[in-house]
C-alpha cells in the first residue's frame, strides 16, 4: 500500500503544486501532471516513523517553501532548484506557519499555544547553536489552548490566531502583547481562518460548529454566518470525532478567480463549494462535489481547478473548473503523481 | 441555578461552615472542566449573579462588572470590598467546585442577613486562564486581583502559573487603561516571578510601594483572605506588588 498524500499546497504564481506524503514531497507541474522533483530529507536528517511534511507553505513570491512536521524541524527550500536551504528545530509541533510579505521571516504557531517569529535565513550552523537560538526566541503571542490556524493581516499590522477553545484573537504585530480584539461567536474548535483576497479586511473562519463566518476582524464584529450542516451531514460518518457528532472542517481554500470558498471535512468524501455574492457581501451555498474517498487535503491550481488528495488507492484526483462547477476528470493528468513511489 | 438572593423562609440563615467545603488547593487549569460560559460578553446572563441590577438576562443596565478576583478562593477579599464599593459590581472566579459552592452560599446568606447589601458581589466557577474574553469586554475592568496564587513550584508546572507573559496580554485586554492589577504572595520566588513578568510586559507599569499604601484596597488585599490570615498566623512575609495598566508605548509614539 502506498502512503497517502496528506498535504497539498500550490505555488502562489507558477503552475507548481507540492504533494506531501509524510516522508517527502513531490513537485508537480499542474498543466501536464509532470513530476518536476521528488524531495526527501537525507538519511542522516531523517528520524524514522515521523512525518516530516505535515504543514507546508510558500513564501508570497514563491521563492521559498517552508515545511515542518512531527520531527519538530522547520526546513526552508529554495524553489528554483528544490534544495534544502536550512533546517532548524522548534520547541513544539507547528500547526500553522506563514512567511512575512518580504520573505525575511517565518511566523509559526505551535500546538502548545505560542507564536514565534524566526528569520528565514538561518545563521547558526551547529545543532547546539540552533538549540540556543531557539531557546532565546520568545513567543510574541500565546494562547492557553492549542493553536489551530494563524494569519497575518494584509498590511502585517495584525496577527490573527485561532485556537481549540473557540477563540479567534486579533493582536498587534509584532507587538503581540497588545490584543486588539476577539472575534467571538463560534461554539466549537476553529480549524481554519483566512482573509478574503478580494476584501482583506474581512476574515473567514470555520471549524467544528458547521458555520462559515465572516468578520470585520479589527473590531471583532461578525458580518455574516452561514449554516451549512444540512448540506454536509449526510456525508459524514457517525462518531467521526469523540467530542462531537458534527462534521469538522479539515481545510478551507479561497479562489480569487471565481470568488468561491471550498471546504473539506474530516473523513468525508466531499468538497463544499460556497459562492460569494457581491450584492450581500456574503457567501451562499453553491454545490457539493462528491469524491470517491475522504479528502485528506486539496488546493487550487493556477487555472482554478481543484486537486484533491484522497484517502484511497486513487490518491490524487483533479476536478476541472467548468462553467461555475467542478467536474471530475480522467486520470491522465494525475497518472504520474499517483504511480509515484511514496515510501513510508 | 437559583440566585443567591432567593430566600426560603424556613431556612435558618447561617453562614456556611468551611469544613464542609474543603477541597485540595491544586486544580489543573489545562484540563476540560465542563464549564459553562457564554459565547461572548453580550450573551452573558448576569441576572444569576446580580438580580438587583439585572432582573432578567436582557435587562438594560449601565453597570458592568469592574472588579475581578482571579482565583478568589473563599471570597474573603470580595466580601470585605463589597460594602466599601457599594456602587461597583465585582466578581470572583474560582476553578474549584467545592470552594465556589462555599462562597456562593456565603454570599446568599449575607444578602439575607443584611438586606440591600452584598448585591454587588458574586462568584462563578470558571477557568480564568481560558475564558476571560468570553465574559469581559475590552477595557472593562478597573481592578484585577491575584491574591496568594498557586505557586506551582516545580519548573515543569510554571506554565500553569496565573501570571505569565502570554496571560498578561489577556489581562491587559480586559483592563481599562489606568486600571490596577494587584498581586500578593507569601512565596518570595513566586513574587519575584510575577514582578519579573509584569515589569517586562509593556502594558503594565509598577506602582511604587509608597503609592500602594495610599490605596484603601491594599489593606484588605493583605488581610481579608483566608490565605492572608493563615500567613499572618504563621508569621510569614507578604510580598505585595501593584501595577497600573498603561497605553502601549509603541502605539503612543
Would you list the domain boundaries of chain B? 66-252
| pLDDT for B1 | 43
Nearest CA to CA, how far is A197 from chain B (Å)?
A: 27
- A152 Rama sector, left if φ>0, alpha if ψ -120 to 50, beta otherwise: beta
What's residue A52's pLDDT? 77
Residue B29 — pLDDT band, cuts 50, 70, 90? low
| Per-residue model confidence (pLDDT) at position B157 | 76
Which cell numbers in the block locate residue B34? 465542563
Q: How many helices (H) and strands (E) does chain B have?
A: 9, 7
Q: Are B102 and B74 in contact (CB under 8 A)?
A: yes
When pLDDT is cut at 50, 70 and 90, the band that residue B27 belongs to is: low
| Candidate from A145, A166, A179 with C-beta closest to B169 | A179
Residues 182-241 of B with CB under 8 A from A: 201-203
Residues of A in contact with B39 (CB under 8 A): 166, 184-187
**Parallel, antiparallel, or unpaired: how do β-strands B141-147 and B239-245 relate?**
unpaired
B176 contact A CB<8A: no
Strands B89-94 and B121-125: parallel
CATH class entry, domain B66-252: alpha beta
How many interchain CB pairs under 8 A, A with B? 66
Smallest Cβ distance to B248: which of A139, A178, A182? A178
Is B28 annotated to bind a ligand? Reply is: no
Phi then psi for residue B26, to 5 deg, are -100, 130
Residue B102: exposure state from Cβ atoms within 10 A (0-12, 13-18, ≥19): buried
Hey, what's the cell of A240? 467521526
Q: Which grid cell sits at A3?
A: 502512503
Q: What is the mean pLDDT of each run of 10 residues along chain A (344 residues)?
A: 86 94 90 90 63 88 93 91 91 95 96 94 89 92 93 97 94 97 94 97 96 97 96 80 73 94 94 96 96 94 94 91 87 88 78
- Using the predicted structure, report yes or no on whether residue B4 has a pLDDT greater than 80: no
d(CA A285, CA A283): 7
pTM reported for the whole predicted model: 0.91
Q: Give dist(CA A252, CA A272) in Å, integer.
A: 9
Q: Would you place residue B9 in the very low, low, confident or very high pLDDT band (cuts 50, 70, 90)?
A: very low
List of residues 6+ apart from A343 with CB closer than 8 A? A3, A23, A24, A40
- What are the beta bridge partners of residue A283? A276
Whether A181 and chain B come into contact, CB under 8 Å, resolves to: yes
Does B166 touch chain A if contact means CB atoms closer than 8 Å?
A: yes
Per the DSSP assignment, residues forming a β-bridge with A265 are A249
Q: Is there a contact between A208 and A246 (Cβ–Cβ < 8 Å)?
A: yes
* Cβ count near A264 (within 10 Å): 25
Mean pLDDT of B49-78: 93
B131: chain A residues, CB-CB within 8 Å: 165
Among the partner residues A138, A178, A184, nearest to B203 by beta-carbon distance: A178
Contacts of A175 in chain B (CB under 8 A): 202, 248, 250-251
Question: Distance between CA B154 and CA B163 in Å, rounded?
Answer: 15
A101: buried, middle or exposed (CB in 10 Å: 19+, 13-18, 0-12)?
Answer: middle
Residue A98, SS3? strand
Amino acid at each position: 500500500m502506498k502512503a497517502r498524500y496528506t498535504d497539498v499546497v500550490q505555488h502562489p504564481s507558477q503552475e507548481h503544486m507540492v504533494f506531501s506524503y509524510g516522508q517527502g514531497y513531490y513537485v508537480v507541474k499542474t498543466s501536464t501532471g509532470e513530476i518536476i522533483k521528488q524531495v526527501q530529507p537525507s538519511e542522516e536528517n531523517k528520524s524514522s516513523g515521523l512525518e516530516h511534511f505535515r504543514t507546508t507553505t510558500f513564501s508570497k513570491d514563491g521563492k521559498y517553501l517552508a515545511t515542518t512536521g512531527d520531527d519538530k524541524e522547520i526546513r526552508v527550500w529554495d524553489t528554483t532548484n528544490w534544495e534544502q536551504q536550512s533546517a532548524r528545530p522548534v520547541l513544539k509541533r507547528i500547526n500553522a506557519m506563514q512567511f512575512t510579505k518580504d520573505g525575511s521571516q517565518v511566523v509559526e504557531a505551535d500546538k502548545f499555544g505560542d507564536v514565534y517569529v524566526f528569520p528565514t535565513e538561518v545563521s547558526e550552523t551547529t545543532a547546539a547553536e540552533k538549540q540556543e537560538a531557539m531557546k532565546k526566541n520568545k513567543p510574541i503571542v500565546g494562547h492557553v489552548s492549542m493553536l489551530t490556524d494563524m494569519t497575518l493581516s494584509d498590511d502585517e499590522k495584525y496577527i490573527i490566531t485561532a485556537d481549540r477553545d473557540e477563540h479567534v484573537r486579533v493582536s498587534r504585530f509584532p507587538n503581540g502583547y497588545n490584543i486588539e480584539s476577539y472575534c467571538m461567536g463560534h461554539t466549537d474548535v476553529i480549524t481554519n481562518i483566512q482573509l478574503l483576497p478580494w476584501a482583506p479586511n474581512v476574515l473567514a473562519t470555520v471549524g467544528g460548529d458547521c458555520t462559515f463566518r465572516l468578520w470585520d476582524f479589527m473590531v471583532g464584529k461578525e458580518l455574516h454566518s452561514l449554516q451549512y450542516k444540512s448540506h454536509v451531514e449526510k456525508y459524514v460518518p457517525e462518531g467521526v470525532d469523540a467530542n462531537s457528532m458534527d462534521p469538522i472542517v479539515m481545510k478551507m481554500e479561497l479562489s480569487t478567480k471565481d470568488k468561491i470558498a471550498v471546504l473539506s471535512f474530516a473523513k468525508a468524501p466531499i468538497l463544499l463549494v460556497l459562492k460569494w455574492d457581491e450584492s450581500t457581501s456574503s457567501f451562499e451555498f453553491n454545490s457539493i462535489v462528491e469524491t470517491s474517498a475522504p479528502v485528506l487535503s486539496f488546493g487550487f491550481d493556477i487555472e482554478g481547478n481543484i486537486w484533491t488528495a484522497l484517502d484511497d488507492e486513487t490518491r490524487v484526483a483533479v476536478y476541472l473548473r467548468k462553467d461555475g462547477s467542478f467536474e471530475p476528470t480522467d486520470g491522465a493528468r494525475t497518472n504520474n503523481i499517483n504511480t509515484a513511489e511514496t515510501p513510508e | 441555578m437559583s440566585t443567591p438572593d432567593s430566600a426560603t423562609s424556613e431556612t435558618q440563615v447561617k453562614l456556611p461552615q468551611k469544613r464542609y467545603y474543603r477541597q485540595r488547593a491544586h486544580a489543573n487549569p489545562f484540563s476540560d472542566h465542563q464549564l459553562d460560559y457564554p459565547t461572548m460578553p453580550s450573551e452573558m446572563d448576569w441576572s444569576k449573579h446580580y438580580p438587583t441590577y439585572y432582573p432578567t438576562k436582557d435587562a438594560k443596565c449601565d453597570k458592568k462588572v469592574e472588579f475581578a478576583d482571579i482565583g478568589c478562593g473563599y471570597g474573603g477579599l470580595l466580601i470585605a470590598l463589597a460594602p466599601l464599593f457599594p456602587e461597583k459590581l465585582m466578581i470572583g472566579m474560582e476553578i474549584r467546585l467545592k470552594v465556589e459552592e462555599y462562597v456562593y452560599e456565603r454570599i446568599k446568606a449575607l444578602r439575607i442577613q443584611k438586606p440591600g447589601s452584598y448585591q454587588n458581589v458574586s462568584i462563578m466557577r470558571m477557568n480564568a486562564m481560558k475564558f476571560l474574553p468570553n465574559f469581559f469586554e475590552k477595557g472593562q475592568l478597573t481592578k484585577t486581583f491575584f491574591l496568594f496564587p498557586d505557586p506551582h513550584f516545580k519548573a515543569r508546572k510554571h506554565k500553569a502559573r496565573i501570571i505569565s507573559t502570554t496571560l498578561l496580554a489577556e489581562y491587559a485586554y480586559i483592563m481599562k487603561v489606568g486600571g490596577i492589577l494587584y498581586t500578593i504572595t507569601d512565596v518570595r520566588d513566586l513574587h519575584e516571578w510575577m514582578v519579573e513578568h509584569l515589569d517586562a510586559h509593556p502594558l503594565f507599569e509598577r506602582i511604587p510601594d509608597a503609592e500602594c499604601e495610599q490605596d484603601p484596597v491594599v489593606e484588605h488585599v493583605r488581610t481579608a483572605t483566608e490565605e492572608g490570615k493563615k500567613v499572618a498566623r504563621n508569621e510569614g512575609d507578604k510580598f505585595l506588588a501593584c501595577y497600573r495598566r498603561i497605553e502601549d508605548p509603541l502605539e503612543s509614539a
